[in-house]
A and B are shown apart, each in its own frame.
Chain A
């Protein structure tokens, strides 16, 4: 079955880099995703990576995928106060998305 795990809380100073980690169990996952959720809002798709890739960079975001260890990470460069949110990783292999519990990022000015 699908099981996605994330650590819970990260605080980071404005301008520093932040790294959020995630592990997943379903080796048949085709795509892995990062979503951002601000308080009281829906989920915003940040980026996603195909399972045959190791890395994807999109402006300040870098996604690393270690398929052997089933480990996914998101690095946010030059973290801004607007990056304060909960970040969810998710996997899909059969149409539905399976999400982790999320990682709250608090950016300290």
Chain B
């Protein structure tokens, strides 16, 4: 197993542009999480999926943010009309809910977004 992967690793965009990030979880992990981490802070929860169903969204996830997991495998996080305040590291994690490892969340390397 290669672990959680994220693409791209870095993204620089101009304010007002749309960006989309992809996360591939550990295979057969049914839960997938998105977190955001700003400089000097710990990660903050954004949303999570169980299979293809989005079960919870944080109030941090404004209307400009949308996440999908259409086939219950990879997920995408789209930010529309980016703002400078969206600059952060976007982290994806996955877990295998319903097994003995339910509570173990494994993180990907993150996508660092810079909005200029």
Known: A31-B103, A48-B104, A92-B103. A101 touches B45 (CB 8 A): no
Q: Is the CB of B33 within 8 A of A4?
A: no
- State in angstroms the CA–CA spacing of A101 and B107 once bound together: 17
Q: A34 in the interface, Cβ–Cβ < 8 Å? A: no
Known: A95-B56, A96-B33, A101-B40. A44 touches B107 (CB 8 A): yes
* Chain B residues near A53 (CB-CB < 8 A): none
- State in angstroms the CA–CA spacing of A105 and B95 once bound together: 27
Q: A55 in the interface, Cβ–Cβ < 8 Å? A: no
Q: A43 in the interface, Cβ–Cβ < 8 Å? A: yes
Partner of A42, one of B41, B45, B56, B110: B110
* Chain A residues near B104 (CB-CB < 8 A): 45, 48
Q: Is the CB of B45 within 8 A of A98?
A: yes
Q: A25 in the interface, Cβ–Cβ < 8 Å? A: no
Known: A42-B91, A42-B109. A30 touches B103 (CB 8 A): yes
The residue in chain B whose Cβ has the minimal distance to the Cβ of A2 is B45
CB contacts under 8 Å to B, within A11-60, are 30-31, 35, 41-45, 48
* Chain A residues near B41 (CB-CB < 8 A): 101-102
Q: B106 in the interface, Cβ–Cβ < 8 Å? A: yes
Q: Is the CB of B45 within 8 A of A4?
A: no
The residue in chain A whose Cβ has the minimal distance to the Cβ of B108 is A42
* Chain A residues near B105 (CB-CB < 8 A): 45, 97
CB contacts under 8 Å to A, within B81-110, are 91, 93, 103-110
* Chain A residues near B42 (CB-CB < 8 A): 4, 88, 90, 99-102
Q: B28 in the interface, Cβ–Cβ < 8 Å? A: no
* Chain B residues near A45 (CB-CB < 8 A): 104-107
Q: B43 in the interface, Cβ–Cβ < 8 Å? A: yes
- State in angstroms the CA–CA spacing of A76 and B46 once bound together: 31
- State in angstroms the CA–CA spacing of A90 and B42 once bound together: 9
The residue in chain B whose Cβ has the minimal distance to the Cβ of A100 is B42
Q: Is the CB of A42 within 8 A of B107?
A: yes
* Chain B residues near A44 (CB-CB < 8 A): 107
Q: B-side interface residues toward A, CB under 8 Å?
A: 4, 31, 33, 35, 40-45, 48, 55-56, 58, 91, 93, 103-110
